[in-house]
Amino acid sequence: MPDRSFMVISRPRKGSRLKVPTDRLRKAAESLRAALDAGHMEMAYAMVAGGSVYVLRAASRDVLERQLQRHPLGQVSDIEIREVVDSVERLAQKQ
């Protein structure tokens, strides 16, 4: 099954008073770099107001959810996952 693309929106968990240790932030940055380098991630942005937006590639949503559970910031973040497709291709199919 070919990989599908998913937009992942990650925000700091509301009400969490946990301060994320520096080593966990470093591991998160390393994880992002590895995903980009391996082609598992199409893009990564930090939101000015807090949080991040990524487009990740995975065989299924279930596979992606399991991967995100192991992410260094997964336990202190609220995560929303939406499947996305190329909008140019999608619009061309509608014609």
The string of pLDDT tens digits covering residues 19-54 is: 778 888 888 889 889 989 999 999 999 999 888 999
Q: Give me the percent of the chain exceeding a pLDDT of 90.
A: 41
Res. 7: pLDDT tops 90: yes
The predicted structure's pLDDT at residue 18: 66
CATH of the domain at 80: 3.30.70.1060
Sign (positive or negative) of CA dihedral 24, 3, 63, 38 = negative
Compute the mean pLDDT over every residue in the chain, rounded to the nearest whole number: 86
Residue pair 42/5 in contact (Cβ under 8 Å)? The answer is: yes
Confidence band, pLDDT 50/70/90 cuts, at residue 2: low
- Quote the pLDDT of residue 16: 67
Dmax (CA) of the chain? 51
Task: Look up the domain containing 87 and give its range.
Answer: 4-94
Instruction: State how many domains the chain has.
Output: 1
